[in-house]
Amino acid sequence: MRVFVTGGAGFIGSHVSRVLLGQGHQVTVLDNLSRGRRELVPESAAFIEADLADEAATEQALRGHDAVIHLANFLEVSVSVERPVAFAENNIVNSVRLLEAMRRAGVGRIVFSSSATVYGVPKRLPLREDDPLGVQANPYGATKVAVETFLGVYHQLHGFDCILLRYFNPYGPNELCDPETHAVPSIVRAALEEKPIPLYWQGEQVRDYIYVEDLARAHANVLEAKGLQVFNVGTDVGTKVTDVVETVSRILGRPLPIDDLGERPGDVAASYASSEKLREATGWRPQVNLEEGLRRTIEHYRERLGIAG
């Protein structure tokens, strides 16, 4: 299959591209490199430096492809609060531009990078795909809900096959957010630099941490799915942030000092997935447990930061 990956020079997109290539697919990466890095794109993938705001360039690049995996989104929740218009423009408007370019280019299949944030404050755990969407606490979450809605429209109007993957908490090599607001890279980097670990809520929040390579495989597994479908992608396991800190401490063989940052508005106390639907539909299941994933992540950051083991 010829697969078009938007945002393929970023954290998740670079891993998705490698998985697809490893399975024999042809891959084209489109990225404007505003946040991605050219060196993360696999050599055997075709690369186009362009912005989704350029509808003509996107349409031309799309011709001849069988499917799109759409990952070109702004991610940082705290930044979305400060720059809601930029997030709406990039995440919502550019996604609709992509859908229109797909329609004109005759490409009617898309896998969308959504998020567990669409559920808002969970009414029950684990979260399941038929749980209601919640009121959003930040513009980032609102953009995901909006794009999910537009995908439903394009399914209804144009017969698109639209697969929505609701991620929980991805982590692993190549995570390059600036500013870095995600728990695992913040913990790992602070630990390696021998700085206090920044913790909100004393690390008592419960999250579902999924290793990025496992997440990448889920995209390949749903490429041939039909219709409008939603799948959670998580591990089915809730883990406290303090447990992540303790695991990193054990791997490094030393205690880690804590920087207690107090409470943070907008955080939910606990969120973790049921991925039973994805498992039953495709056979997908996570293969990398938290300790092994953290070991790999620590080694990546050692190399990236030039810190000896």
Query: Worst-scoring range by mean pLDDT, 72-86, 169-183, 261-275?
Result: 169-183
Q: What tens digit of pLDDT does each residue of 18-77 get?
A: 999 999 999 999 999 999 999 999 999 999 999 999 999 999 999 999 999 999 999 888
Q: What tens digit of pLDDT does each residue of 208-256 get?
A: 999 999 999 999 999 999 999 999 999 999 999 999 999 999 999 999 9
DSSP state of 92: I
Across the strands, what pairs with 270?
Answer: 206
Q: Could you give the dihedral angle defined by the CA atoms of residues 275, 278, 279 and 283, in that order, rounded to the nearest 10 degrees?
A: -150
**Among 87, 59, 61, 58, residue whose Cα is nearest residue 73:** 87
**Among 231, 223, 238, residue whose Cα is nearest residue 277:** 231
Q: Contact 164/230 with Cβ under 8 angstroms?
A: yes
Amino acid identity of residue 151, one-letter, is: L
What is the reported pLDDT for 108?
98
State the helix-helix crossing angle for 183-192 and 241-252, rounded to 10 degrees.
30
Listed in order, strand segments (DSSP E) in the chain are 2-6, 26-31, 46-49, 67-70, 109-115, 161-167, 169-171, 197-199, 206-207, 209-211, 228-233, 239-240, 258-260
- Backbone conformation region of residue 9, classed left if phi is above 0, alpha if psi is from -120 to 50, else beta: alpha
DSSP state of 89: I
Active-site amino acid positions: 140
**Among 152, 123, 147, residue whose Cα is nearest residue 135:** 123
**Among 76, 227, 215, 49, residue whose Cα is nearest residue 139:** 76
What is the reported pLDDT for 180?
63
pTM above 0.85, yes or no: yes
**Among 208, 210, 213, residue whose Cα is nearest residue 237:** 208
Strand 239-240, strand 206-207: pairing: antiparallel
Instruction: Quote the mean pLDDT of the chain.
Output: 95
Task: Say how far apart CA 135 and CA 116 lie, in whole Å.
Answer: 13
What is the reported pLDDT for 177?
62
Q: Is the peptide bond before 126 cis (omega within 30 degrees of 0)?
A: yes
Domains of the chain: 2-170+210-233 (3.40.50.720), 171-207+237-305 (3.90.25.10)
- The total number of residues shown for the chain amounts to 309
